[in-house]
Amino acid sequence: MAQPLARNTRRLPMVDRDQALSFLQQSLQTQAEKLYGIALEDLHLRPAHQGGQNIVYSYTKDSREYILRISFRSDRPPEQIQAELDFVLFLSDHGARVSTPVRSRQGRYSEVLWLGERPLSLVVFEKAPGDRLADRGYQYRDGAPIEEYFANWGQTLGKMHRLARRYAPDPSSARRALLVDTLADQTIPRYVPASQRRVRERCAQLIERLRQLPRDEGAFGLIHGDFSDGNFCIDYADGTITAFDFDDAAYCWFMYDLADAWRAGTGWIAHEADAEKRRAFMERYFATLLQGYAKEHTLSGEWLGRLPLFVELVAIEAVMNEFRAIAEQGEPYDDEGLAFALRCIEEGIPFLGFFDPIYSHEHPFQLR
């Protein structure tokens, strides 16, 4: 049954997606109406994707579209979900375009259903206006240059970082974790196989370098943590961007989000055979993104010069998500993709191997 958080959830038993989904199909028959005034048959399950972190439904009520997100991962207990929502509401209150949570009939932004001793956190969000770029076949709006999209992406990110500098969570509430500490103390020891000795060594070396960096007020704070084009919608009327999916939010350097945006840009030129043309495009792309970013927030040249370091961190975090999905969700081992990423980490190949001879434009980011 649904209830506010009232149990110790620090050490949570593991539950996989299939278990959670089977439970929800039964529980939501009564709880969907009780909590949100929506009938089960009006909930539409969204397809899962590889490495998916949540179970997601969409529905329409009173001519408005909503998203119901259910979090089941063991490292995302209800108090961390509440901390995420507090940040999202702060951003919204201060003018950022974000998908905001809505209260349940009980007046709460998040609800909990218990699967045995395992809490599943439910949150309803207003659907972000517009569409994801992938939903439009990666076609941007008619008559507008793609550079507008890149700049708007950067500006949206810059505004979130500018506001994050002012964000001060309630001292009595849970705080989102430090990304580097989570990697070092939990993710790597738990999920990286002991056989991956070189990967563990490289991760430890990177973490040590990161821990030596200053945590400047203007360069460090609570970040989105996964601000790729799958986690925002574009209003095709004017190009404005609305962000969602802050469940990876963590304390880290702002350069992490920028490095993640750099990684996402590789898809535009991934099938180009000439490495120098790939490099030239990425320089133009990232410069345009930074022009938008600078409209809201500024990072020094010294911080921007650390882009290779943070792209490496993004790569390691992505590999950790692969290992976690294999361990917790039983997802198939992606031999070629994961092997490519591991080779780059082991050998210290910068920029995801995108400009290295190891890269194949015919089989992007796969080891052949």
Domains of the chain with bracketed CATH: 2-126 (3.30.200.20), 133-353 (3.90.1200.10)
Task: Work out the average pLDDT over 87-91.
Answer: 98
d(CA 244, CA 232): 6
pLDDT one-digit tens code per residue, 267-302: 999 999 999 999 999 999 999 999 999 999 999 999
- What separation, in Å, do the N-terminal and C-terminal C-alpha atoms of the chain show? 50
Contact 313, 320 (CB under 8 A): no
State yes or no: pLDDT of 18 exceeds 80. yes
One DSSP character per residue, 50-72 reads TT--EEEEEEEETTEEEEEEEE-
Q: pLDDT tier at 325 (50, 70, 90 boundaries)?
A: confident
Strands (E), 48-169: 54-61, 64-71, 101-102, 111-115, 118-126
In the structure, what pLDDT confidence band is assigned to residue 19 with cuts at 50, 70 and 90? confident
**Torsions phi, psi for 8 (to 5 deg):** -75, 115
The pair of structure tokens assigned to 307 is 């882009």
Confidence at residue 172, expressed as pLDDT on a 0 to 100 scale = 84
Q: What is the pLDDT of residue 104?
A: 98
Helix (H) and strand (E) counts for the chain?
Answer: 11, 11
pLDDT for residue 328: 76
- The string of pLDDT tens digits covering residues 165-217 is 999 998 888 999 999 999 999 999 999 999 999 999 999 999 999 999 999 98
Contacts 24+ apart (CB under 8 A), 15-22: 15/72, 15/74, 15/115, 15/118, 15/120, 16/328, 16/329, 16/330, 17/48, 17/52, 17/55, 17/72, 17/329, 19/115, 20/55, 20/70, 20/72, 20/115, 20/120, 21/45, 21/55
Rounded CA gap, 340 and 342, in Å? 5
What predicted TM-score, i.e. pTM, was given to this entire model? 0.93
Whether 52 contacts 66, CB under 8 Å: no
Q: pLDDT band for 250, please (50, 70, 90 cuts).
A: very high
The CA-CA-CA angle for residues 174, 250, 101, to 5°, reads: 70
Q: How does the average pLDDT of the chain come out, rounded?
A: 93
pLDDT tops 80 at residue 361: yes
Cα–Cα dist 226/232, whole Å: 10
